[in-house]
Copies of this chain bind each other. A is one copy, B any other.
Amino acid sequence: MQNKKKIDIIELAKILNLSKSTISRAFRNSSDINKHTRQRILDKAQELNYHPNIYASSLRKRKSKTIAIIIPELANNFFSKAVNGIENIARSNNFHSLIYFTDSQVKKEIEITKNLLNGRVEGVIISATGEGTEPLHIKSLQRNTPVVFFDRVYDEIIAPKVVTDDYESSFKATELLLKNGCKRTAFFVINKNISIGKQRMKGYLDALKANGCKHNDKLILNCCNHFQENYKMISKFLKKEKPDGIFASVERLATCTYSVCKDKNISIPADIKLICYSSIDIADLLAPSLSTVTQPAYDMGAKAAELLFKQINEQQISDEKVTLTSRIDERASSQ
């Protein structure tokens, strides 16, 4: 399977009766090389299956043309689309993308960033777990490599960030429920201490206040990332608190609620109105169709990548914060 006789630049030079610098030039579109010589070299290289060793050249040039993408998971359309956006921009810059998953655990995030301290990549795009008190691991990373955040950021860190109008959209989403008559509107969140959790909760709380609803702490439900556990928590919650409206800050909490309601014969939207953050493409095919707050996932990824390359190319610090707007699609579940 493998071609054992790996040929290197020196051998190729010998065969062609040239010096290795000339060979090197041929592969770098160097201006000062005879077109004919160049073609001769490329032809022979192809014939002999010679390809410049990327690690030797990375070492010499001190450039790897590689970035890292660190995200919680892929089991989520939001991140899939964001990665797509990132990779597209990376590719158009002739960069390669390493991908890493944290499973929303700081422990893994720390592990991964440690592995990136050695110059393996020229930049990092991350959607953070947000856990932990102080993201020292990110600060360490920043000393060695440009870092750009998207969606899930560390407020304490100075770096370019791409986020959405979490506060405003959450405010509107909540208000939409209130306008439709909800008196006991609940907020479902995975972690109310991370960046997006905080903002979305703030939007929820302020919408309540602005509409004359008194806040009830019991109507805020802290969930996790596991379906079974969430299912139990939500079942219990619905039974005990009897909310008539739910704003889910994360898609999986909404779909889990759908499952619970289906099993318990609770009607959405008659008994409970629901709206949630989601990047799902088939929200209108659910029963009932799902009202959503949709983030421009692809654009967020692309923008984050652009900011990263700007930083890589211009070699300068920036703490630009780009805020894109989400779209609210009102469907049956909230009406």
Evaluate whether A74 and B80 lie within 8 angstroms (CB atoms) in the complex, with A1-B143, A259-B285, A287-B285 already known.
Answer: yes
Interface residue from B74, B75, B119, B317 paired with A1 (Cβ < 8 Å)? B317
Q: Which residues of B contact A115 (CB under 8 A)?
A: 96
Can you name the residue of chain B whose Cβ is closest to the Cβ of A259?
A: B285
Write the nearest CB–CB distance from A131 to chain B, whole angstroms.
19
Does A265 sit at the interface, judged by CB under 8 A? Answer: no
Q: Which residues of B contact A66 (CB under 8 A)?
A: 98
Taking CB atoms and an 8 Å cut-off, the chain A residues in 138-180 that contact chain B are: 140, 142-146
Does A335 sit at the interface, judged by CB under 8 A? Answer: no
Complex: A84 Cα to B79 Cα, angstroms: 13
A49 near B144: Cβ-Cβ < 8 Å: yes
Stretch at the interface among A35-43, A52-60, A231-239: A52-60
Task: State how many residues of chain A have any CB contact under 8 Å with chain B.
Answer: 55
Interface residue from B1, B59, B81, B288 paired with A55 (Cβ < 8 Å)? B59
Name which of A53, A99, A315, A317 has the most chain B CB atoms within 10 A of its CB: A99
Q: Give a binary string over A25-64; 1 marks a CB under 8 Å from any B CB, 0 the rest.
A: 0000000000000000000000001011111101100001
B99 near A2: Cβ-Cβ < 8 Å: no
Q: How many copies does the complex hold?
A: 2
Write the nearest CB–CB distance from A114 to chain B, whole angstroms.
9
Does A109 sit at the interface, judged by CB under 8 A? Answer: no
Does A305 sit at the interface, judged by CB under 8 A? Answer: no
List 17 A–B pairs whose Cβ atoms lie within 8 Å, in order of A's numbering.
A2-B144, A2-B146, A49-B143, A49-B144, A51-B144, A53-B59, A54-B119, A55-B64, A55-B119, A69-B99, A73-B84, A74-B80, A97-B99, A97-B100, A99-B99, A258-B282, A286-B286
Can you name the residue of chain B whose Cβ is closest to the Cβ of A87?
A: B101
Complex: A146 Cα to B83 Cα, angstroms: 26
Q: Which residues of B contact A1 (CB under 8 A)?
A: 142-143, 146, 317
Taking CB atoms and an 8 Å cut-off, the chain A residues in 241-278 that contact chain B are: 255, 258-259, 262
Write the nearest CB–CB distance from A228 to chain B, whole angstroms.
13
Interface residue from B55, B81, B317 paired with A58 (Cβ < 8 Å)? B55
